[in-house]
Chain A
Amino acid sequence: MIVLEKRPQPSKLWAYGTPVLAVLLTMIFGGLLFAALGKNPVDAIRTIFFDPVFGEFAFYYRPQLLVKGAPLVLIAIGLSLGFRAGIWNIGAEGQYIIGALCGAGVALAVYPLEAFWLFPLMIMAGALGGWAWAMIPAFLKVRFGTNEILVSLMLVYVAEQLLASMALGLLRNPDGFGFPGSRNLQQYPSAHNAELIAGTGMHLGVVFALIAVIFAYVLLSRHMLGFQIKLTGAAPRAAKFAGVNPARLILVCLGTSGALAGMAGLFEVAGPAGQVSIDFNVGYGFTAIIVAFLGRLNPIGILLAGGLMALTYIGGEIAQGQLGLPAAAIDLFQGMLLFFLLALDVLTNYRIRLRKGEAA
């Protein structure tokens, strides 16, 4: 009988070893999948993991990794604070949408005014929008004890409908021949979240994502609030005795993750996406949950996990274009990677032991 025995302390070795092992296992099983589809497995794996970073056109894909990874990291950092304290915001997708709507709404309201203060105001509006949307589950949780997992999830669908309504109505481009979608903010200099240095992919959202990583790292390792978050997650009772105010923690954690998700939405709509459209959200809010767990809720880990997810997206697209792999195979491949990463994490916290007799 194989049993799991909890380690007194998480294993350092496995904490670093499991991601590597998971990637290797995914390469093997993914390779088998690609071979079954009649493609050269070595080519496929190389295209997905290697080409975006070291391939012939890496000068283009490397910046794209930043563009794709930044919103994931920014959202996941916010989520991880709550997750550590046992506060489950899974509605970041909705907060991302509302942040984008609020931020873009500010710009479109004053169009075509050019002013230096416009973009900072948009960032604030985006953060505020995401914060307010996250405050709904937070307030209900604090006031009524309502389950925040479910409320935040429900609010994603409400936000999606609002987005459709805005793209077709209030924010629709008046010069767009009646087509859905807002004006393109890329063509509105004061509101454009442009690259800071052209060709590097570095827009303000990337900078904010990096700042968030550092901030979260310091918060968790040095600050009282970080200690309270970790304590509440590990031992809620002890935290209460230690004087942690759970209501305050809920408001702070959900509010922070909402604000960061809202900002991510704003940076996306004002930068790479450019406009509010019906399908503006492409799932960053949900993928960020996975990224947060892949990064083991650790800021540095999240940064790496965000990069890895971005890599499989971009590499997956290249594999489709160059090797003719169907998009479904790429989905499946990503699913495999997640499975292995999630499953192997058990080795970090538990030891596998052989034991005789019955166990649960």
Chain B
Amino acid sequence: MDLSAINPVLLIASLMVAATPILLAAIGELVVEKAGVLNLGVEGMMIVGAICGFAIAVNTGSPLVGFVAAAIGGAVLSLLFVLLTQVALANQVASGLALTLFGLGLSALMGQSYVGVKPPAFAKLDIPGISDLPVVGPILFSHDLVLYFGLALVAAVWAVLKFTRAGLILRAVGESHDAAHALGYKVVRIRTMAILFGGACAGMGGAYISLVRVPQWTEGMTAGVGWIALALVVFASWKPWRVLLGAYLFGGITVLQLNLQAAGVAVPVEYLAMSPYVITILVLVILSQQKSSAPAALGRIFHASQ
């Protein structure tokens, strides 16, 4: 056992990378759930984003264009969810599960000719002098653009929800769609936009895996990250900054357990792997004591005549 082999600075830097896909997907899902919609199709939207981003990045040679394409891909897939739940008033749980099934199949078909292809590399921030600073350099100033974008997105979502009229309306729709409707807000339109935003974020989260973190395309490569993102939103009790904290905690546990193993500590891998979920449940219990948690209309179907 040699714990000194673990470099905390590098550990933090790599947990930030590991956390970014979950962070992106979760912040999108947070907005969706704030609007009162539960979309369990995150995994499906992520994997479709992963292949859309990958294919476009390979064909255009620009990872940035790839990310835009991934956002569009995820949003287009979430449009199916809109059709089901907002237009046809179908059950959200079942629709979300169907969306994941559909997304996994679609991405595999789309990706058939991209197996074994290497994507263009994504440039990392490199400011002479600053990126080389000890401690702060590797943690704050040597990542790729998307990672910073993810952080900015958290801040933006927080600000919009807290300070703007749009945020207020979104929350109102999520708390009581009937009241919001009575006040004259277009419930379906607002929810549709929230779902599309969630799809775009999930798509980018998926592309971060296929373009930056791995980078390659293989079928089923998101391997359950979408479900972790769903857990994360709950863990964060629907608060943007806690999503960030939670993403780093989830990412941190993964990275730390690998580091501990490499340092020769005999960790019970399965038990460590289940710990984020157990912690999430505990957080849920504590939150439900405070009565401040879930949007009241979460998962309920809205129809104007009701």
Known A-B contacts A162-B270, A289-B94, A338-B98; the reply to A146 vs B288 at CB < 8 A is: yes
Contacts of B122 in A (CB 8 A): none
Contacts of A225 in B (CB 8 A): none
A342 within 8 A of B: yes
Q: Report the nearest A residue to B304, measured CB to CB.
A: A360
Known A-B contacts A146-B284, A342-B98, A350-B89; the reply to A153 vs B270 at CB < 8 A is: no
Known A-B contacts A290-B94, A331-B105; the reply to A343 vs B270 at CB < 8 A is: no
Contact of B271 with A165 in the complex, beta carbons under 8 Å: yes
Chain B, range 103-157, C-beta contacts under 8 Å to A = 103-109, 112
Q: Report the nearest A residue to B293, measured CB to CB.
A: A147
Q: Report the nearest B residue to A330, measured CB to CB.
A: B105
Contact of A144 with B89 in the complex, beta carbons under 8 Å: no
Contacts of B102 in A (CB 8 A): 331-332, 335-336, 338-339
Contact of B299 with A5 in the complex, beta carbons under 8 Å: no
B4 within 8 A of A: no
Known A-B contacts A4-B89, A158-B277; the reply to A342 vs B284 at CB < 8 A is: no
Chain A, range 209-245, C-beta contacts under 8 Å to B = none
Contact of A6 with B109 in the complex, beta carbons under 8 Å: no
Q: How far is the CB of B140 from chain A (nearest CB, A)?
A: 32
B223 within 8 A of A: no
Chain B, range 1-57, C-beta contacts under 8 Å to A = 38, 40
* A150 contact from B187, B188, B284, Cβ within 8 A: B284
Contacts of A333 in B (CB 8 A): 105
Contacts of A330 in B (CB 8 A): 105
Contacts of A292 in B (CB 8 A): 94
A198 within 8 A of B: no
Tell me which of A110-118, A119-127, A188-196, A321-329 binds B.
A321-329
Contacts of B91 in A (CB 8 A): 293, 342
B65 within 8 A of A: no
Q: How far is the CB of B142 from chain A (nearest CB, A)?
A: 33
Contact of A328 with B284 in the complex, beta carbons under 8 Å: no
Residue interface bits B272-306, CB-to-A below 8 A is 1, else 0 = 01100110110011011101011000010001111
A164 within 8 A of B: yes
A349 to B306, CA, bound (A): 13
Known A-B contacts A6-B305, A146-B288, A161-B270; the reply to A345 vs B299 at CB < 8 A is: no
Contact of B105 with A140 in the complex, beta carbons under 8 Å: no
Q: Report the nearest A residue to B105, measured CB to CB.
A: A331
Tell me which of B162-170, B202-210, B226-234 binds A.
B226-234
B267 within 8 A of A: no
Contact of A360 with B97 in the complex, beta carbons under 8 Å: no
A344 to B83, CA, bound (A): 11
B213 within 8 A of A: no
Contacts of B87 in A (CB 8 A): 343, 346
A359 to B181, CA, bound (A): 11
A14 within 8 A of B: no
Contacts of A165 in B (CB 8 A): 268, 270-271
Contact of B88 with A343 in the complex, beta carbons under 8 Å: yes
Contact of B288 with A145 in the complex, beta carbons under 8 Å: yes
Q: How far is the CB of A219 from chain B (nearest CB, A)?
A: 22
A162 to B84, CA, bound (A): 35
* B271 contact from A161, A326, A345, A346, Cβ within 8 A: A161
Contact of A345 with B108 in the complex, beta carbons under 8 Å: no
Contact of B230 with A146 in the complex, beta carbons under 8 Å: no
B90 within 8 A of A: yes
A260 within 8 A of B: no
**Main SS of the interface on chain B?**
helix
Chain A, range 282-332, C-beta contacts under 8 Å to B = 286, 289-290, 292-294, 326-332
Q: How large is the interface on A (under 10, 10 to 19, 20 to 34, 35 or more residues)?
A: 35 or more
Counting chain A CB atoms within 10 Å of each CB, the highest count among B88, B181, B227, B231 belongs to B88
A155 within 8 A of B: yes
Contact of A157 with B277 in the complex, beta carbons under 8 Å: yes
A336 to B84, CA, bound (A): 12
A306 to B103, CA, bound (A): 22
B249 within 8 A of A: no
Contacts of A90 in B (CB 8 A): 40, 93
B255 within 8 A of A: no
Q: How far is the CB of B234 from chain A (nearest CB, A)?
A: 5
Q: Report the nearest B residue to A291, measured CB to CB.
A: B94
Q: How far is the CB of A291 from chain B (nearest CB, A)?
A: 9
Chain A, range 141-175, C-beta contacts under 8 Å to B = 144-147, 149-151, 153-155, 157-158, 161-162, 164-165
Contact of A144 with B106 in the complex, beta carbons under 8 Å: no
Chain B, range 168-198, C-beta contacts under 8 Å to A = 181, 186-188
A6 to B106, CA, bound (A): 34
Contact of A338 with B274 in the complex, beta carbons under 8 Å: no
Contacts of B234 in A (CB 8 A): 147, 150, 154
Q: Report the nearest A residue to B279, measured CB to CB.
A: A154
Known A-B contacts A289-B97, A360-B188; the reply to A331 vs B104 at CB < 8 A is: yes
Q: How far is the CB of A287 from chain B (nearest CB, A)?
A: 8
* A158 contact from B38, B94, B219, B274, Cβ within 8 A: B274
Contacts of A336 in B (CB 8 A): 102
Contacts of A5 in B (CB 8 A): 305
Give me the interface of A with B, judged by CB distance under 8 Å: 4-6, 37, 88, 90, 136, 140, 144-147, 149-151, 153-155, 157-158, 161-162, 164-165, 286, 289-290, 292-294, 326-336, 338-339, 342-346, 349-350, 359-360
Closest A-B pairs by Cβ, 7 of them: A331-B105, A335-B102, A328-B108, A332-B105, A338-B98, A360-B304, A342-B90
Seed contacts A147-B293, A165-B271; 8 additional CB < 8 Å A-B pairs: A140-B281, A145-B288, A145-B291, A146-B281, A151-B284, A289-B97, A334-B105, A335-B106
